[in-house]
Amino acid sequence: MVNIILLVIGFILLIKGADLLVDGSVKISRKLSIPELIIGLTLVSAGTSAPELVVSILASVRGDGGIAISNVLGSNIANISLVMGISLVLATITIGISTLKYEIPFLLVISMSLLAMLRNNSGTITKYDGFVLLGFLTIFVSYLFALSKSNKDMEKQILSELEEIEKNESSWRDIIIFTGIGLVILSIGGELTVSNAVAIAKKLGVSQVLIGATIVALGTSLPELVTSIIAAKKGSADMMVGNIIGSNIFNILTVLGISSLFNNLVPDRAPYFDSIYGISIIILVYILSKLRKSKLGIGTGILLLISYVVYVYIGVKIG
């Protein structure tokens, strides 16, 4: 019971720490006169992956590779099956042209590349693989930059997010203090999350991969879940799909790319099932989007929610 309470506290600290760190990083970048578009496409876009990044880095340093890998795979499945599923039950969503034409196929390519890496190394992600993933990341960020320059709506959204962060002008001292506090809170939250997730796995006699792909992944996906529900209720859920796909891409490329540089990520159970299931969900969303001319609604939402229940059920059976 104590481990569960500490795990929940860890999730809360992760989310709050990520908010403070992203806000502070954006303000520091503005003080250094870094172009707003660059800030938005890197710091703000990757901000939702901050909890996963901290958890996976700490897990990597501790030698708990199962948590590091499954946290990302489980979060990505939760983002599409659970977060998108709930949003579609609440509102009909039109998927953007660029999301359907470029981003979903790109997510599919890197997800299949990740599976190939896992198969090639008996379930392990090596430091070499990490460099390859970070190479993919530079391609994706370059694509986002080019897209935003040609898409005025996207550029407006990015800049409006920056304005939301910068409502109150802060001094260098305040920015550094709050950024530092965010980093400390994020680190403490990450440590609580990883250590207690490992403890729970040992007590239940299940793999770290199972705990990382379900409990930890669900906790680190809470920001996306809350944001998407609010967007759906406000009738502004269309951009949500693009944000989820983008978050999943950042999870694979940034989180696994960086965390694998600290240590080879060696899981206690090869996460082939989780990787293949995630790829299947991406293909399902892509096919349904094509068949329904980019409009997805409650039927797809229910199907995605069922797919998440099936994923958790099979995951528990595998252990």
Angle (nearest 5°) at CA 291 between 142 and 311: 75
Residue 189 tokens read as 């939250």
DSSP assignment of 126-185 equals: -HHHHHHHHHHHHHHHHHHHHHHHH-HHHHHHHHHHHHHHTSS---HHHHHHHHHHHHHH
The better pLDDT of the pair 294, 24 is held by 294
Tens-place pLDDT, residues 65-110: 889 999 999 999 999 999 999 989 988 888 888 888 888 999 999 9
Predicted pLDDT of residue 256: 95
> Based on the structure, what is the number of domains in the chain?
1
Residue 113, classified by CB atoms within 10 Å of its CB into exposed (0-12), middle (13-18) or buried (19+), is middle
Model-level pTM? 0.84
- Distances in whole angstroms, Cα of residue 49 to Cα of each of 32, 40, 166, 223, 274: 24, 14, 21, 10, 19
Tens-place pLDDT, residues 279-292: 999 999 999 999 98
Tens-place pLDDT, residues 156-200: 665 565 555 555 566 777 778 877 888 788 788 888 888 888 888
Which range marks the domain in which residue 223 is found? 2-318
- What CATH number did the domain enclosing 108 receive? 1.20.1420.30
The better pLDDT of the pair 305, 100 is held by 305
When pLDDT is cut at 50, 70 and 90, the band that residue 310 belongs to is very high
Neighbours of 121 (CB within 10 A): 16
CA 17 – CA 12 distance, rounded (Å): 8
